[in-house]
Structure 1
Amino acid sequence: MNQPARALSPVPSPANARSAMERIATQLGRAVQGKSSQLQLVVTSLVAGGHVLLEDVPGVGKTTLAEALARACGLSFARVQFTADLMPADVLGAQVFHAQTATFQFRPGPLFRQLVLADELNRAPPRTQSALLEAMAQGQASLDGATHALPMPFTVVATQNPVDFSGTYPLPDSQLDRFMVRMSLGHPTPDVEAGLLVTRDGTSPLDAVETVSGPEELASLRAFAAALRLDASVADYVVRLATATRSHGDLERGASTRAVLALGAAARASALWDARDFVTPGDVRAVLVSCWAHRVLLRSAVQGVSARDEAAHLLEEIARKVPAPR
């Protein structure tokens, strides 16, 4: 049975902010086992106010993770299966004519939930993909000349398969840039996988997930994380990292200003795992690859997993070469 959400104080401390994040991560671990670092990254992005792109092969728990996140945080949830024939109205909603009043009324689509799972996002045509763009950027959706606010907090968790490209439409840079982090779950370890075989009794892993937070607490966490102190020396470090990507010989395009801001937001949320009210260079490095690997453009023609790995390698190389403040 789900437990009622416990709220943080109006002005939370780093300690109880960490406690709230750990509560959420613990519940996620009940549904997706053996992936503590990935679950921590998902919670970090959520607290930082970002969207998540889960890029992995089928059957490793991407959908389960998204549903568990919504349940643990007490958020309204919708899953949209993106296909080649999905239309923007299937996501946004539509104006419906009511004969009794002879008027049109807006019927919200699945996008009007606090957490939306965009499953296999790259299988939808660009026109439908773009329906998410305004929502992810501004927390609103426009239809027939009217603007509709989305419920807050609003988060998109999207999935795509990095191996099977048949019948897909690659996400444009403008869409990729809206995701705070891109990550992969990977297969569980042999011990975890064997344990799943022994303990799985036909019930859903989501049955073990309890609601331990709520929209109000999440809003409080986001406001607190956004206000964490980021010294000028750390800000300069982030900018120097970005500058290094822009001048790197193997990169056609380096990190944008939006990427710089996203890294700062993620680093602030990451600092809360150590119950700190300030950001260190270590916080920046902890989220650097996840924040920037999908935002830089390689000069090489590699695609899929190879491109992801090469981008990660280049960013790690840059992080080693750019001196951090002491």
Structure 2
Amino acid sequence: MQKVEVQLGERSYPILIQSELFQQNLQQVLPPARQVVILSNPLVAELYLAQVQALFSQADVRHFLIPDGEAYKTLSSFEQALCFLLEHKINRDVVLVALGGGVIGDLTGFVAACYQRGVRFIQVPTTLLSQVDSSVGGKTAVNHPLGKNMIGAFKQPDLVLINTSVLDSLPKREFAAGMAEVVKYALIADLAFFNWLEQQQQAIQARDKAVLAEMIRHCCQMKADIVSRDETEQGERALLNLGHTFGHAIEAHLGYGHWLHGEAVAAGMVMAARVAHSRGDLNTHELKRVTNLLQAFDLPVSPPEAMRIQDFMPYMKTDKKVLAGKMRFILPVALGQSAIVDNVTESELLTIFSL
């Protein structure tokens, strides 16, 4: 079993990574609980609900399901989950369990932050994207038609359980979406990791368990280190949003669920790389390497054909990173190096993306 620690003082917590994790005896690491409520979706529940329920054999375990997909990461689902807890007289000492991908993880965390002013919760991510990124760090939120993740809270989990075996059942498109976030980590701060991903393309695509475990551990360690230094995104943590300013605009404009989050982030990273290239930071060869690596993992490298740069502007101007009325972008200024930039103008974007 591999272990990564998110260091946040009294709120520190471990990330445990292992194949067949659900078959292990985890009583020593699970928080004690009399009541447990597992939030999931029907697809994941059919595969893994019984195994996760069995981990809490000494507790009263209930489950609440929402339909699968980004379209259900809403205030309505949030309210339904709260109603379930209230109707079943769930107490403040409950442990909520997020069993699913980023949608379930974000929703469960937001519910945990708000129910009776805060209860404990565990992340059990079942997609590659949630294992390498969204399950770690305490960002929780729901979407709104006017912006993605604009309503939420910071709420750290008590524990993250990453069972790498669940990736065997992950559809190819979902696996590819997760690789977008993996490439993001390499691009923002780790050239050696970027080189490693280029070298390990075939093993990753073949879902080699040892290679995937090392890849997931590395991403979790990178995020844990950043979150430990900047939990509430006052500075360095904003770098983790590389590709997201453009990507969130794609998701909101098309309607949540048409493009997977990772697909939108991949296209957004290339758009950010093109901005950096136009400003003389990222050279042509580096831009090509970024594009090639994303394409190698079956990810889009261009925005949707129907979108023009003018379609992006309303969403980017209300993005969470806007500060004092200025749009802020995360740009890859070199492979393995990124920066927060607030002087990219609208006219500059119109010139770069004459779409």
Tell me the TM-score normalized by structure 1: 0.31
Q: Which has the higher contact order (CA 8 A, sep 6+)?
A: 1
